[in-house]
Amino acid sequence: MPHRVLIIDDEEDIREVAALSLETVAGWEVLLANSGAAGIAKANEQLPDAILLDVMMPGMDGPTTFQELRAHPKTARIPVILLTAKVQAADQKRFSDLGVSAVMFKPFDPLTLARDIARVLGWKDK
């Protein structure tokens, strides 16, 4: 069965390109949410294999969304990758210290995004 990845990002262009990349290059199933709250609801309903989570979003930001996901037993074990525009080393460390599976950076290459996700999550099929 293809992997199912939930993309949580308030930016439509980023959501669309990331979805295109994961579906077209890797053949994965993609779920989309445009806010932290919508993403938490979708994660609880759909239990994706992984979550790609934007850091800077209005309302609930990425780190807060991650903590909410970790606080719920149903979603606590879903691997989460934070996605952010390039940040300084101190911010990168702060994000890594949250306990996410990885921190990845925008802009990403749509042709290699799936491979990069598979690599950091230890998925062997891509």
Partner 1 sequence: MSDPSGVIAARLAELWRQTLPITLERVAALQAACEALGRNPADPRARSAGREAAHKLSGSLGIFGLPRGTELAAKLEEILKSTDPLSRQATMAMGGLIEDLEAVIASKQM
Best CA proximity match to 92, nearest among 79, 80, 101, 104: 104
Inter-residue contact 55 to 83 (CB < 8 Å): yes
CB of 22 to partner 1, least distance (A): 11
CB of 33 to partner 1, least distance (A): 17
To 5 degrees, how large is the angle CA 86–CA 90–CA 91? 50
Judged by beta carbon, residue 8 or residue 75, the one nearer partner 1 is 8
- Distance between CA atoms of residues 122 and 21, nearest Å: 19
The burial of 28, by beta-carbon neighbours within 10 Å (0-12 exposed, 13-18 middle, 19 or more buried), is given as buried
Judged by beta carbon, residue 20 or residue 41, the one nearer partner 1 is 20
Judged by beta carbon, residue 70 or residue 92, the one nearer partner 1 is 92
Judged by beta carbon, residue 75 or residue 83, the one nearer partner 1 is 83
Q: Under the rule (CB under 8 A), what is the footprint of partner 1? A: 11-14, 16-17, 20-21, 24-25, 56, 84-86, 106-108, 110-111
- Distance between CA atoms of residues 106 and 23, nearest Å: 18
CB of 15 to partner 1, least distance (A): 10
- Distance between CA atoms of residues 14 and 122, nearest Å: 24
